[in-house]
Chains A and B, each alone.
Chain A
Amino acid sequence: MAKLEKEVTSFNSKPKNKMNSFGEKVIKDFKRNKVIYLMVSPVVLYYIIFQYGPMYGLQIAFKDYTPALGFLQSPWVGFEHFKEFFNSFFFWRLLKNTLLLSFYSLLFAFPAGIILALLLNEIRGGIFKRSVQTITYMPHFVSLVVIVGILFDFMARDGVVNDILVFLFGGEPIAFMREADWFRTLFISSDIWQNVGWSSIIFLAAMSNVDPALYEAAKIDGAGRLKQMWHITLPGIMPTVVILLILLIGKFMTVGEEKILLMYNPTTYETADVIGTYVYRKGILESNFSYSAAVGLFKALIAFTLLVIANSIARKVGDTKLW
């Protein structure tokens, strides 16, 4: 109690005190909140070491890093590695594959979650709705290794899908996983299969916050279900949609690289190889550290720029924004 009173009086008498310098403020704040700072210190330490450490390590993108010389001693080479990447045969292919996969995911996977949420929202509670939700959430909890394993199994020349296709339409079985032309379709559709239920959760939550009076009013005006969806539910969840869209655009350069690493093989590189997987091959497999760090930095910078642009567009158009 005494401590509380002291705080109150010190707060009240602030203007009368001689101007607190910044240093004094810091010391006072630290004394008052020392337990808080003690608690947050492991968290700050984690971020400094494992998040800002690698950012500091990005300097090797401008150096010729060799493990023997270490981060600091390795000689500077300026933009050499970036030039090499931009001039390399792979640059345009990697950029095209990365952007196309992201774009298709935006075009097909993102709306899929909204559509499922709209359909689920039309069903009033009950065991049916809950069962559909439980089932569609399920693949989200299955590991990527297993998901891609299932894909290999089902899409194999002698797999279930080919059996069915040949039975229905005849013709020759297709080796889906070895055809570059099929990669994007398989990647996006298996992504929808795995995550459509999960991504519908957030839209359903947003829908439950839409004012029910709006629906009543619409019904009185004679609006049917589809009209209510279009004119009330969708506008109601728009802020959520915009926020998720911004976040998605921030992830535009990162397109499920772990999944691609599991799915692709040299016969599908033409459509499957993206910047992230290239960084992995060049850096981890070929120990070409500086070059792959430069490619990684290029990716991160583009991603960050896209995020800033998306956010500022959202700010101008409506009032939904990330910051």
Chain B
Amino acid sequence: MMRKSLGERLFDYGNIIFLCLLSLVTIYPLLYILFASLSDPTYVAQTRGLMLYPKEITIAAYKMVFKNPMIVTSYLNTFFYVIVGTTVNILLTSLGAYALSRKNVMWSNFIMFMIVFTMFFEGGLIPLYLLVNELNMIDTRWALILPTAISAFNLIIMRTAFQGIPDSLEESARIDGANDFTILFRIILPLSMPVVAVMVLFYGVFHWNSWFHAMIFLQDRELFPVQLILREILIANDTSSMTSGVSAVDAMPIGETVKYATIVVATLPILCLYPFLQKYFVKGVMIGGIKG
């Protein structure tokens, strides 16, 4: 072990200080929202500059969020889109990834080319909108599930993972009379759990955070996901739907904290989930598979 020179030690300290600052800058806006959502509304309305801790902790804003039928409905809708959407995603992606990872299948290269091509050239927004319209899917839940049923990128990642599994395992199963469905669901998928977990996270986060397709395909507010409601509250700055029944004087400050509370409610579930899968990310984002 060589002793570190002065320059190296300075570099190390500088590096650590920089990374600490970066972490602080990254996390502060999120903490601010958490603090503000837990604080007294009038205090939040008056406060200037940095807020370093919640002031006069109250969960009034959260009570209001969960009493609001619009937010509750949209929250349940989001759960629906995430669960059904991700299930469809994983099912189709693993079927495709498995089929296209087999050897000696005549058309698999052609199909793979068809899939990869769509990553680099696409019909675009307007033809997709008209297609969904022709299929009578406007204002239905299908519009948020079917057009995004598979991501080519994720399919490639999964296919690469499946290709890495030794043939011997499935060969013995095949001798025992297992067909391809059994091999996929009983052998390949259980062996690829880390990749499947990352895929579930990627697809799940995509559905959870998605708003654009909901905006163009849905008019019925009963079908809106929570992100679309958040957009009204945050971007259009329209908190009126949430503060009905509150006197006009109180409405403004309470609207502010309810805004923050809605963000927390709509963001926290995902933020609690990803650290558990962090060690698998590398496998998930490896694009080495692109060249397959």
Flag if B124 contacts A279 (CB, 8 Å).
yes
B259 to chain A, nearest CB (A): 8
A172 at interface by CB-CB < 8 Å: no
Flag if A47 contacts B32 (CB, 8 Å).
no
Flag if B130 contacts A60 (CB, 8 Å).
yes
Give the docked Cα–Cα distance between A289 and B23 (Å): 45
A77 at interface by CB-CB < 8 Å: no
B212 at interface by CB-CB < 8 Å: yes
Beyond A50-B128, A54-B131, whether A44 also contacts B111 by CB under 8 A is: yes
Name A49-78 residues within 8 Å CB distance of B.
Answer: 49-58, 60, 65, 67, 70-71
CB nearest neighbor in A for B99: A40
A217 to chain B, nearest CB (A): 14
A174 at interface by CB-CB < 8 Å: no
Flag if A137 contacts B123 (CB, 8 Å).
no
Binds A, one of B68-76, B243-251, B275-283: B275-283
Binds B, one of A28-36, A84-92, A98-106: A28-36
Give the docked Cα–Cα distance between A87 and B58 (Å): 58
B285 to chain A, nearest CB (A): 5
CB nearest neighbor in A for B49: A163
Which residues does chain B contribute within 8 Å of A33, judged by CB atoms? 102, 104-106
B242 to chain A, nearest CB (A): 14
Give the total of B residues in contact with A, Cβ under 8 Å. Answer: 93
Beyond A29-B105, A119-B19, whether A54 also contacts B230 by CB under 8 A is: no
CB nearest neighbor in B for A293: B126
Which residues does chain B contribute within 8 Å of A146, judged by CB atoms? 230, 234, 263, 266-267
A184 at interface by CB-CB < 8 Å: no
Which residues does chain A contribute within 8 Å of B211, judged by CB atoms? 143-145, 258
A174 to chain B, nearest CB (A): 16
B56 at interface by CB-CB < 8 Å: no
Which residues does chain B contribute within 8 Å of A144, judged by CB atoms? 209, 211
Flag if A205 contacts B271 (CB, 8 Å).
no
Give the docked Cα–Cα distance between A209 and B273 (Å): 28
A19 at interface by CB-CB < 8 Å: no
Flag if B124 contacts A58 (CB, 8 Å).
yes
Which residues does chain B contribute within 8 Å of A317, judged by CB atoms? none
Which residues does chain A contribute within 8 Å of B124, judged by CB atoms? 54, 58, 279, 293, 296-297, 299-300
Which residues does chain B contribute within 8 Å of A204, judged by CB atoms? 282
Flag if A154 contacts B131 (CB, 8 Å).
no
**Which 8 A-B residue pairs are closest in the complex by CB-CB distance?**
A54-B123, A149-B234, A57-B127, A143-B209, A43-B96, A296-B124, A54-B127, A40-B99
| 15 A-B pairs with C-beta separation under 8 A | A39-B180, A50-B131, A54-B123, A122-B15, A132-B20, A134-B275, A143-B227, A145-B209, A148-B234, A149-B233, A193-B26, A201-B281, A225-B8, A289-B126, A299-B124
